[in-house]
């Protein structure tokens, strides 16, 4: 019991010191790249297989371009590099995501993505984790 208490106190002291250590480390190493959190979201419907397939794709939408009417079997993350991306999900108001922003497209919901601009390109990065041999999208009619 005393050992567990001592270990717990030591662990707490180390965790409590982390912010101060990070600040002093940041001051000592100004050229260290740090990630910037763009999106954090709890999702449902990820594959539960022992192995999954990870896809990272890019897409460029010319003015007026849109995707086919489709669904995904698993959540899809879209990060907008340039322009604005409009996502229309069945039964919901359109969502506009601008450069530097991201969204998660839910699984099993019919949708279409658009570049509504008349003059600007839209460029996106798409991140998709699926069960092996799962198509990226399923066409809807």
Highest mean pLDDT among 5-9, 49-53, 115-119: 115-119
Residue 23: is its pLDDT beyond 80? no
Residue 123: is its pLDDT beyond 70? yes
Q: Name the least confident of 35-44, 57-66, 76-85.
A: 35-44
Between the CA of residue 76 and those of 21, 35, 62, 125, 135, what are the distances in Å? 36, 21, 21, 10, 12
What pLDDT sits at residue 28?
A: 63
Of 114 and 49, the one with more pLDDT: 114
Residue 92: is its pLDDT beyond 60? yes
> Does pTM surpass 0.85?
no
Residue 113: is its pLDDT beyond 90? yes
Residue 31: is its pLDDT beyond 80? yes
Contacts 24+ apart (CB under 8 A), 36-42: 38/79, 38/100, 38/101, 38/102, 39/77, 39/79, 39/101, 39/102, 39/103, 39/104, 41/104
């Amino acid at each position: 019991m005393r050992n567990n208490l001592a270990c717990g106190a030591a662990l707490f002291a180390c965790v409590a010191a982390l912010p101060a250590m990070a600040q002093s480390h940041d001051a000592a190493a100004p050229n260290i790249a740090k990630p910037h959190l763009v999106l954090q979201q709890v999702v449902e419907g990820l594959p539960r297989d022992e192995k999954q397939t990870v896809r990272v794709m890019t897409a460029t939408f010319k003015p007026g371009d849109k995707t086919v009417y489709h669904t995904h079997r698993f959540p899809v993350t879209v990060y907008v590099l340039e322009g604005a991306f409009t996502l229309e999900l069945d039964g919901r108001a359109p969502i506009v995501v601008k450069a530097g922003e991201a969204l998660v497209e839910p699984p099993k919901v019919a949708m279409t993505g658009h570049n509504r601009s008349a003059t600007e390109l839209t460029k996106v990065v798409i991140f998709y984790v699926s069960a092996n041999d799962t198509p990226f999208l399923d066409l809807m009619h």
